[in-house]
Amino acid sequence: MAIINIIVIIILFLLTGFLSGKNKDKLLFIKAFISAIFMIITSFVSIVISCIITYYLLAHLMHDGNSIFILGVVTLLLAGIINYHFIKLIIRLSYYNEMLIMILEYYIQWTTIFFTLYQFFTSSSETLEKLKHLQISTNTLDISFMNIIILPILLVSWISIAMTKIFIKDHKEN
């Protein structure tokens, strides 16, 4: 059943694109979806690399016991910079397609907002009890998993997309 749900979600994401714009590039939203999957993978890799670098530099070499907030900000910004270089590779393959970047940004925004709303919605045991009466499954994602894995990946992706948009505008031929 989970596979069917994932397929339905993918189809709906792609349908938003096909209904709104397929004039210049009929495969644009499929390219954007494939690029988004690649970006999620590279964001995760960037976070791992950034965690190692940040920990080694700040904690090991400098013996700096900064707060978890500072370490988190440094780690995610560094991961965004690392991922930016991966994203530039994707963009080169698609010839700096601004529409592709815009779609990727929308996918990231929608997914981030959805997970934030999901987290808010499922954090209330009262709401979960009401859902049981409607015969809707109350199996939820682990909120700590979302906060440690999913949301940082989306944030790193968003940072790298913003950097890429600036790069494209700055290097665009007049």
Structural domain boundaries of the chain?
Answer: 2-171
Q: Is the pTM above the cut of 0.85?
A: no
Residue 11 pLDDT level (bands cut at 50, 70, 90): confident
Report which residue type is found at 132.
K
> Could you tell me which residue, 45 or 115, shows the higher pLDDT?
45
The mean predicted confidence, pLDDT, of the chain is 81
Q: Is residue 46 within 8 Å of 156, Cβ to Cβ?
A: yes
Displacement of CA 27 from its chain's centroid (Å): 21
| 37-61 tens-digit pLDDT | 899 999 999 999 999 998 888 777 7
Q: How many residues does the chain have?
A: 174
> Could you tell me which residue, 171 or 116, shows the higher pLDDT?
116
Number of C-beta neighbours around residue 165 at 10 A: 16
Residue 159 pLDDT level (bands cut at 50, 70, 90): very high
